[in-house]
Structure 1
């Protein structure tokens, strides 16, 4: 190219000006969001993932935390055992609640050696699997459960364990032991079977169960277990079970891939609006005669593991609760065990849905006094009320005021005293902290038994005289004490958790915070995670870890945990990680929990945005221009909702196994919180407001979709429907399908976690991740 002299001078001037600018920029420090991360950066973050190498330890176990009593097992009314752990390993102690005396629960070396022989491999006496349990048999032997196997162990001499020949081979799920401990009932081949605990002999209890119309399994919706669901009478002569009818329920499918022909899996899975759902017919079974007596009532839908049965102490009657399909109506009924006659005592109708109970029923059947205790939210909080079994009328409130009753632990029918776990009932305290109360069911006089400003995890003795209380906060480790149930006085300190070894590794606790909800008035609670090398002069991108509920929130518990998933690990890579329980999640008022009833596409996202904006105004080191979000299952759903409803706020999303359209998810889920499916003449429905694929055109940022290919909880069709809509909208996105894994990712979890880190590092922080980092804990599981 020919240039004039003047043109050459101009060209040269521009070149040297640009060169000078480049040299100047090269001399300036590079911004935080444009650097190459190394294996060392990822390795430092990986230290904050689940630390133990034992896949059976459970997610809340940390070998660097000493003297944390995670579980207490009552052997009888006055003795309990617990595991103690420190740098030297595990020890097991038994404590006498009457004397405060504690002794070794057993000879750990002898039991480990005895268990190692039938297992065919040595057992480390200093490091026991988390999945370990034992109980004492009347003859002094130990019944031991470890790693899914059962043993009978005699430690009186040299020590000998024999693996139980249970006759339970092939049984997927649990078995139920009779009230007197003599029998074990389990489900197999659509029928119930009995095992004599003394002899091990197995006999068939029912014989008319057939495929998809059998007895007592908890196989419903996303659950495919064969575990027996029965309730033994106090005298162990009979039990309540049910016939489960799946015959007309439509199937869901998954394709297992392998070399050669794939395997097609199918299982009954009703969807919202389906005519046929799982139906149960309650029955009473006489153990001695094998007589099956159906209850005189119409078949009803199975909405869970059917734990809503309570026997009378004399074993002659029992109470049960039925629920309407729309979850608005509840029927309290009493059945005669001998005849199967059923009487409806009262009916309770909620405006939108009956919240029910968390974990197990909190209603109580008091046949001797002709009363029942029934929980409702009629005053905007879950309280307990006394009802007459004769008239079906409410007699009076038992508990009153603000705060929820979330679990009844014990009822003394003689003294008319009830012990319950409550939240939000102490003004000025974090409303998610659990506390134990006792109340007189006649006068309503209430006593707080655990006054410490902390979350209390309670394990009560069978007769209600004592309880073990482990209390902690997100920033203070647990103190475990033995208390008297009459007044809460501390009888002994069981253990004080020591986190010195954990802190020495650089661990820091999350930062608790409060913000206002979308309405500007309701206080929300959350936890914030900063890098351990935090620099307040830097600007950090934000990652919102979300789980919208409605059955639980993002945080799950405000008790102490050394790790909460990958929150701190992700923060180590240069992020501020936020977890916030938005409106619509449990343990608050009824109006709080129903903030977006009928609009599940809400997913607490307006509260997440409001909270993050307040935090960013409070902390200038939070960068509102770089906000990402991620979650699993319901959190995956919420992540996609956030990316599509608020694409200018959330720039990057990582969505795992999400139910992106509840029309394609288990019917009982959507029909409780979205309402019964109503299809309109124009082709729309009341479920359209939660269907993410209808908003696919709104996507602007980087979105990753992850799902197991044979997910039997959230069918993969949820992801494919969204993918189809994104493609039709000509949107770029990423997807990872995990082969032959279900709702969680099993051995692929380390890989998926690493890919998530890479995704946020590259697209949210603007950095470059190390190439295929290979230092993730191999035992990491979801």
Structure 2
């Protein structure tokens, strides 16, 4: 198997339809088919979806669907325990008495909870009120405002247009093409920039093909600086589209480069927040590009920038318009002076990773972890930030590093997701680790199948949910050495199969060249008659239907 197969999503989706030998499909046929769409089948899969909500000490809770309704589970990795987060039936009785409504413990009227710092209460919203349940006294009281969690350092975009600082005290946002901050405690607002104008404003979220009113920026770890840019799209054409939704049409307008236009360019800046000051980085404007995609914020934050822990330096990557050239640079946050450390040029297209940036700046040791496909596979390399030279290759072999998850500078270990390690299907993902020196490569998720990984904020544990297209997920908690801490859930699809649903069949085919392996899935009709012939739809990515169907795990 070569690089081409792994870097091109070559899934062949083969879908069979009803036999149409002169027959006409009825409304009932379409309704039957729709009943097996994921949004209709998912409610019949029990104990499958585990989404950890992390608490101090790497504890976490999650809500899981069951045949009876749902339940909340609390997990303590240190104690290796998994237990009900509270007595569901008792809370249902207490809440029924306090609210005047009738509730059942399996069907509680809320989907999220929060824990105050002492961990002895839970807080939730139900019947248009905030409630607090004291786990030690069994008292339910109304009126308590749930505690809000804080964003991780750097500040990712949430559901609002603001970006929260790491300490939670400030929220940055765009107003009249300039950047402002709001004090989250007092509500007072401060203007950070004054020279932003229409089509040449700060932190603009517009990649042409997608846009929003959210601010694109990265807070420094000390919450005193902001890395962002001023985007010049004054010579970019306007794009107009009319919505086709039910009701009155709405005209949408945004900047989109058309043939002959100049493209949007960004001037990189660092903004000091306490005493507002804009420091322009001493480099030419960059194209609105990132190593991940044409959007400079496709991962949910300002991509390709990385602060030093003391906020004195900002590492960033400049991507050429055609994605063939990458320049790794480090800026002095106080002066804006920029040092170009190294560059990489490719003949095709440089792509950093799959859903996240695969490089990391290590200012304490003056090193850089960098992703490259120079040996025909996607691997990690260790660079000397002083000389710009490669010190050594960290990962090596016939597999691809798709996502760099964690860098442990103390033990000099990288943790990453890799594809291509399983012979059954090269698209299955696994969590691995390796030393900075390239030694001690270890697969931490030994079970066959596709592994979805969620790391704990403290970095000591991870939730591992593994499955195959035809095998329901099993979810466990592991330590960073890969050892099992506790079992969490094993999905039950008995209610799903009772509806007549059938899992797809994984297949391995040979391409027209007679040697290239193609991995896919066959979906057959639920009422298939083996004595009949059926048409086959070859549904691939990328195809003219413009759909991405790269599914490696179970989709009930």
Show structure 2 runs of 5+ residues with no match.
Answer: 1-18, 135-139, 149-157, 290-294
CA contact (8 A) 1:112 1:124 kept: no
- Kindly indicate whether residue 382 of structure 2 is the aligned counterpart of residue 396 of structure 1: no
Equivalent of residue 209 in structure 1, options 183, 196, 201: 196
Alpha-carbon deviation of 1:261? 10
Aligned residue for 1:413?
409
- Kindly indicate whether residue 468 of structure 2 is the aligned counterpart of residue 473 of structure 1: yes
- Kindly indicate whether residue 327 of structure 2 is the aligned counterpart of residue 331 of structure 1: yes
Name the SS for the 1:540 alignment partner.
Answer: coil
Alpha-carbon deviation of 1:78? 1.6
User: What root-mean-square deviation, in Å, do the aligned CA atoms of Structure 1 and Structure 2 show?
Assistant: 3.5
Equivalent of residue 555 in structure 1, options 540, 549, 553: 549
- Kindly indicate whether residue 172 of structure 2 is the aligned counterpart of residue 185 of structure 1: yes
Alpha-carbon deviation of 1:407? 0.5
Structure-2 change in CA distance of 1:524 and 1:67 (3 Å): same
Aligned residue for 1:229?
216
CA contact (8 A) 1:241 1:282 kept: yes
Structure-2 change in CA distance of 1:266 and 1:232 (3 Å): same
Aligned residue for 1:66?
46
Structure-2 change in CA distance of 1:392 and 1:221 (3 Å): same
Alpha-carbon deviation of 1:281? 1.4
Q: Deviations over 1:508-537 (max 9, x none)?
A: 100110111232211111001111222222
CA contact (8 A) 1:439 1:446 kept: yes
- Kindly indicate whether residue 308 of structure 2 is the aligned counterpart of residue 312 of structure 1: yes
Aligned residue for 1:343?
339
- Kindly report which structure 2 residues correspond to 1:220-259, keeping only aligned pairs within 5 A, or say none: 220-255=207-242
Aligned residue for 1:423?
419
Aligned residue for 1:749?
none
Structure 1 window deviating more from structure 2 (319-328 vs 552-561): it is: 552-561
Structure-2 change in CA distance of 1:554 and 1:285 (3 Å): closer
Name the SS for the 1:292 alignment partner.
Answer: strand
Distance 2:229 2:465 in 1: 37
Aligned residue for 1:519?
513
- Kindly report which structure 2 residues correspond to 1:106-185, keeping only aligned pairs within 5 A, or say none: 136=115, 154-155=132-133, 157-160=140-143, 173-185=160-172
More strand by share: 2
CA contact (8 A) 1:111 1:159 kept: no
- Kindly indicate whether residue 284 of structure 2 is the aligned counterpart of residue 298 of structure 1: yes
Distance 2:36 2:542 in 1: 24
Aligned residue for 1:79?
59
Distance 1:549 1:391 in 2: 44
Structure-2 change in CA distance of 1:112 and 1:173 (3 Å): farther
TM-score by length of 1: 0.59
CA contact (8 A) 2:123 2:144 kept: no
- Kindly indicate whether residue 339 of structure 2 is the aligned counterpart of residue 353 of structure 1: no
Distance 2:433 2:260 in 1: 44
Structure-2 change in CA distance of 1:255 and 1:489 (3 Å): closer
TM-score by length of 2: 0.82
CA contact (8 A) 1:178 1:236 kept: yes
Alpha-carbon deviation of 1:549? 7.3
Q: Deviations over 1:572-604 (max 9, x none)?
A: xxxxxxxxxxxxxxxxxxxxxxxxxxxxxxxxx
Structure-2 change in CA distance of 1:442 and 1:164 (3 Å): closer
Question: How many correspondences in the alignment?
Answer: 507
CA contact (8 A) 1:526 1:555 kept: no
CA contact (8 A) 2:325 2:344 kept: yes
Name the SS for the 2:492 alignment partner.
Answer: coil
Query: Which structure is richer in relative contact order (CA contacts within 8 A, separation 6 or more)?
Result: 2
Alpha-carbon deviation of 1:43? 3.0
Distance 2:388 2:314 in 1: 16
Alpha-carbon deviation of 1:547? 2.8
